[in-house]
Amino acid sequence: MYSQALNTATGHADTSEAGTRFQTRVDAEERIEPNDWMPEAYRRTLIRQISQHAHSEIVGMLPEGNWITRAPTLRRKAALLAKVQDEGGHGLYLYAAAETLGVTREELVEQLLAGRAKYSSIFNYPTLSWADIGTIGWLVDGAAIMNQIPLCRCSYGPYARAMIRICKEESFHQRQGFEIVTILARGSAEQKAMVQDALNRWWWPSLMMFGPSDSQSQHSDASMRWKIKRFTNDALRQKFVDATVPQGHYLGLTFPDPALRYNEATGHWEFGAIDWEEFRRVLAGDGPCNRERLAARRRAHDDGAWVREAALAFAAKQGVARQREAA
Amino acid sequence: MAERSTPLWEVFIRARTGLAHRHVGSVHAADATMALQAARDVYTRRGEGLSIWVVPSVAITASDPSDKDMLFEPAASKIYRHPTFYEVPDEVDNM
């Protein structure tokens, strides 16, 4: 899954000699590596963005994990387990990438658990039916892929490399979701109603995943200048709508947007106004599941404390034993 | 009480026999056995490898990127280390 476009980097152009050299390297599409000189604001922006992305992967395991035991067939259960395991792996690649910028894993986890770090607003919505699992794969992972493919060319090497790996693994996620949605859309009247209901609930939150509209962004976007970001939020959102609407229509589903219409002239699907008030509310911690998600993460962390402690104590003991042998 | 941090390990994977191990990422683990296990779970979910190395990150000594010119420029100026520096008559064909 993925990090929301929440970050508007505020760094001003660094006109120092080092800053100019850095920008020249970025402009030449050179990758910046961990020990290279970089502006502090670039480092801070990346730590924030990569860690939010990592947190999103980790929290993103919760809404889907909710359905593992209730998947309708063994095939679906195996696929869902593999998908959730992938999300965990993606979180770990990303934490590792963030750590190359000089922050520790413990600090990052602590920021999430203390509620000081953001994660994608989409994971604060509940998964009420099995159709939600299909819809998440189709829409949420679909939106994720749109956003993540350009990140594979991000100027920061470790982030770009993590994204390449993630994108390769992600395409099965969207396809398994669409398969679930397809089967339901071609099923009984109840199944059709279930999948339509899921689409009605997930459509707008999925569009919000691309982050605030470009017109809302008051800062000149340093992320674009630094080539962390390649496309604007609105451009990516439009691309997603254009790709997804025909897929839904193909299945005979309707989108919960009366303003949705195809513009022959531009070749794009036009859509209605997004409720940014809801977006801000969910992001600020007041979505349907924010408290539940954080509580689940805290519980998992606390319950695992003795394991981490025991593993370290065991490693220390083994170290002492080896030293004695060597002596 | 602040938690003690779990050591970091760099992970190297050999994708196929005949290839060298290649750096793929890192994991946190209390000891080498757990690092191997974590590396397997995190980096080989799709048949990426036949062999894994894990190395404590603190054991790696890296060159400083700002020394790049000093370290590698001498190689650039020694063009006589490359076969194309030498002239071989056309009649001799491949050498």
pLDDT in tens, A264-292: 999 999 999 999 999 999 988 899 999 99
Q: How confident is the model at residue A301 (pLDDT cuts 50, 70, 90)?
A: very high
B2 CB neighbours in chain A (<8 A) are 106
- Averaged over A243-268, what is the pLDDT? 97
Task: Check B65 against A315: CB less than 8 A apart.
Answer: no
pLDDT for res A323? 83
Of A89, A105, A305, the CB nearest to B28: A105
Residue A240 pLDDT > 90, yes or no? yes
Contact call for A169 and B46, based on CB within 8 A: yes
Residues A216 and A276: beta-carbon distance below 8 Å: yes
pLDDT of residue A288: 93
* Complex-level ipTM beyond the 0.90 threshold: no
What's the pLDDT score for residue B1?
A: 39
What Å distances lie between residue A237 and A198, A206, A219, A232, A256, CA to CA? Answer: 20, 9, 20, 9, 16
Provide the mean pLDDT of chain A.
92
Residue B13 placed within a domain: yes
- A169, A147 Cβ separation under 8 angstroms: no
Q: Facing residues of B11 across strands? A: B25, B54
**B22 occurs within a structural domain:** yes
Q: What is the pLDDT of residue A220?
A: 46
- CATH number of the structural domain spanning residue B44: 3.10.20.520
Is the predicted pLDDT of residue A104 greater than 50, yes or no? Answer: yes
How many Å lie between the alpha carbon of A260 and the closest alpha carbon of chain B? 40
In the predicted model, is pLDDT for residue A327 greater than 90?
A: no
pLDDT in tens, A171-186: 899 999 999 999 999 9
**Can you tell me the distance from the alpha carbon of A177 to that of A137, in angstroms, rounded to the nearest whole number?**
4
The answer to whether residue B86 is domain-embedded is: no
Interface of A with B (CB under 8 A): 33, 35-37, 82, 85-86, 89, 92-93, 96, 99, 104-106, 162, 169, 305, 308, 311-312, 314-315, 318
Q: How many CB atoms lie within 10 A of CB B79?
A: 9
- What pLDDT sits at residue A1? 47
- The series of mean pLDDT values per 10 residues for chain B, 95 residues long, is 78 93 94 96 91 96 85 84 90 82
Is there a contact between A311 and B62 if contact means CB atoms under 8 Å apart?
Answer: no
pLDDT, one tens digit per residue, over A120-154 is: 999 999 999 999 999 999 999 999 999 999 999 99
Paired tokens of A51: 């860690």
Contacts of A93 in chain B (CB under 8 A): 25, 42
pLDDT score recorded for residue A285: 87
Those residues whose C-beta lies under 8 Å from the C-beta of residue A260, and which sit 6 or more positions away, are: A245, A269, A270, A271, A272
Task: Supply the DSSP string of A215-277, one letter for each residue.
Answer: GG--S--HHHHTTS--S-HHHHHHHHHHHHHHHHHHTT---S-TT-EEETTTTEEE-----HH
Is position B19 within any domain? yes
B42 found inside a domain: yes
- Its domain, for residue B53, covers 8-62
The pLDDT assigned to A319 comes to 85
- Residue holding tokens 């279930």? A194
Q: How many domains does chain B have?
A: 1
Sign of CA dihedral A80, A81, A82, A87: positive
With tokens 């520096």, the residue in question is B85
Closest-CA distance of chain A to residue B54, Å: 15
Report pLDDT for A68: 97
- Average confidence (pLDDT) over A197-213: 96
Whether B84 is covered by a domain: the verdict is no
pTM for this prediction: 0.90
CB A41 within 8 A of CB A11: yes
What is the distance in angstroms between the Cα of B65 and the nearest Cα belonging to chain A? 6
Residue type at position A26: V
A140, A80 Cβ separation under 8 angstroms: no
Question: Could A37 and B66 be called an inter-chain contact, meaning their C-beta atoms sit closer than 8 Å?
Answer: yes
Residue A74 has pLDDT above 90, yes or no: yes
d(CA A62, CA A84): 9
Specify if B12 maps to a domain: yes
CB pairs under 8 A between A and B: 50
Q: Report yes or no on B73 lying in a domain.
A: no
